[in-house]
Amino acid sequence: MTMKAVFWELSAENDEETPNFILENDVPIPCPGRNEVQVKVKSCGLSSINFKFLEKLFRKYPDRRKQYIVGHDVSGIVTQLGEGASTFKVGDAVVGILPLDNLSPGCAEFCIFHEYDIVKKPEMLSFEDAACGIGDCVRAYTALHCLCRLCAGDTLLVIDGATSFSNIVIQLALSWGAKVIATANSPEERKYITSNHPTVAQVIESTARKNMLSISIMEETGGLGVDFIIDNGASRLAEPKENHDQSTSLNYEMISCLGSFGKWVTMRSDLQLDPPDSSELFLRSGTICFLFDSLWTLSYSQHGRYRHILSDVVDKLDRGLLKTKTSKTIGIDEVVKTMQVISESTTGKVIVQLTKTSKTIGIDEVVKTMQVISESTTGKVIVQL
């Protein structure tokens, strides 16, 4: 039997490698191996892909694969157990994050998980919310708890505060008693942050004005600077023009926001510091940490901590302590087109829904709909409360 699945590969055009997304309609349905489970995908969260970094990461396996998977944040139903798999049973609703080196994509009708990479999905948590939140929540936990060791009373600067990842970071930090300052790239993003997180201390709009960020931070903190900076690696803060002095670089501006013993956590894998940047960091006795949360599933050296984080994340999502935002829900046939422009989306997450919905209604329409529901032959009617 075959299924639909989405992959990506790098193709050479004009001496440059560009990503090419492919929807394949006849991919063999994968079978679980030892300690693995087959999951029928209900929802899958999409994120932008760092193509150059992943291509370098897998370069040492040139014969293993020509294509790479799309979709890692998955919720679904266990449909088959591999040899030795005993944690779950067929029919269990689960949620998890596929490893970067997984062979079966999450953006498919079926995928394969190691049984220790997933946790049970609570009954009241929807498949869409589970897939929407699991990846960003694990990343936020990794940044705030494992790297920052954030405590009540600490001051945190969140770059690009309107993204889905930053949305979770702000919620977690506020719930742990930290003071949060965020940046926005437009008045619309500023409004989004203040309306969803009214207790944020300040929202700073990105601007071309020199040193605006560091000036605002020092004013807000009384000249002390922030304890931590969380940078999602795709910051759109205004970069200086080429003729500006080196000390006005974006890196220098970020480091200038740090207080004594401050820490900058970033997802910029190609970050390089110039001598003035290093000097400024040294004078603060500051540090830079790289956030690469996929390491949890690439190395199992701390898998017990990872499963604890997964369980805590799902519990908080189920109880409504962490709220996700879905910007768009699409079918698998729309994934290729969406992935080509997904980096332009700044708020919310794009969710691929593998279970077709024929109609969404309110509770007042249920009686009328139930009288004719047998006439609906494709998809499912959903009541939205």
Same domain, 126 and 16: yes
Q: What is the CATH number of the domain that holds 277?
A: 3.90.180.10
Same domain, 298 and 339: yes
Same domain, 157 and 283: yes
Q: What is the mean pLDDT of residues 330-347?
A: 82
Closest CA to 169 of 236, 232, 75: 232
> What's at 136, amino acid-wise?
D
Give a yes or no: residue 138 inside a domain. Answer: no
Closest CA to 194 of 207, 185, 184: 184
Task: Identify the pLDDT of residue 66.
Answer: 67
Q: What is the mean pLDDT of residues 189-207?
A: 91
Same domain, 42 and 82: yes
Same domain, 321 and 286: no
Same domain, 169 and 249: yes
Same domain, 159 and 285: yes
Same domain, 283 and 176: yes
Does the global pTM surpass 0.75?
yes
DSSP 30-65: P---TTEEEEEEEEEEE----HHHHHHHTTT-TTT-
Domain boundary among 241, 267, 290: 290
Q: What is the mean pLDDT of residues 183-195?
A: 92
With 50 as the cut, is the pLDDT of residue 376 above it? no
**pLDDT tens digits, 110-148:** 999 999 999 999 999 999 999 999 999 999 999 999 999
pLDDT cut 90: percent of the chain above it:
64
Which band of pLDDT confidence, cut at 50, 70 and 90, is reported for residue 370?
A: confident
Give a yes or no: residue 56 inside a domain. Answer: yes
Give a yes or no: residue 217 inside a domain. Answer: yes
DSSP state of 333: G
Task: Identify the pLDDT of residue 181.
Answer: 97
Decide if 286 contacts 265 (C-beta within 8 A).
Answer: no
Task: Identify the pLDDT of residue 241.
Answer: 47
Same domain, 308 and 285: no
Give a yes or no: residue 36 inside a domain. Answer: yes
DSSP 193-216: HHHH-TT-SEEEE--SSTTHHHHH
Give a yes or no: residue 382 inside a domain. Answer: no
Farthest CA pair distance, the chain: 73
Give a yes or no: residue 384 inside a domain. Answer: no
Task: Identify the pLDDT of residue 381.
Answer: 67
**pLDDT tens digits, 62-101:** 555 567 889 999 999 999 999 999 999 999 999 999 998 8
Task: Identify the pLDDT of residue 80.
Answer: 96
Same domain, 179 and 95: no
Give a yes or no: residue 145 inside a domain. Answer: no
Same domain, 88 and 118: yes
Decide if 158 contacts 171 (C-beta within 8 A).
Answer: no
Q: Cα separation of 373 and 356, whole Å?
A: 15
Structural domain count, the chain = 2
Domain boundary among 290, 314, 338: 290
Element (H, E) at 28: strand 16-28
Same domain, 268 and 299: no
Q: Cα separation of 176 and 140, whole Å?
A: 13
Domain boundary among 239, 267, 290: 290
Q: What is the mean pLDDT of residues 170-199?
A: 94
What residue numbers bound the domain in which 87 lies?
2-133+294-355
With 90 as the cut, is the pLDDT of residue 175 above it? yes
Q: What is the mean pLDDT of residues 13-34?
A: 85
Give a yes or no: residue 373 inside a domain. Answer: no
Q: Cα dist. 336→23, 303, 352 in Å?
A: 7, 33, 11
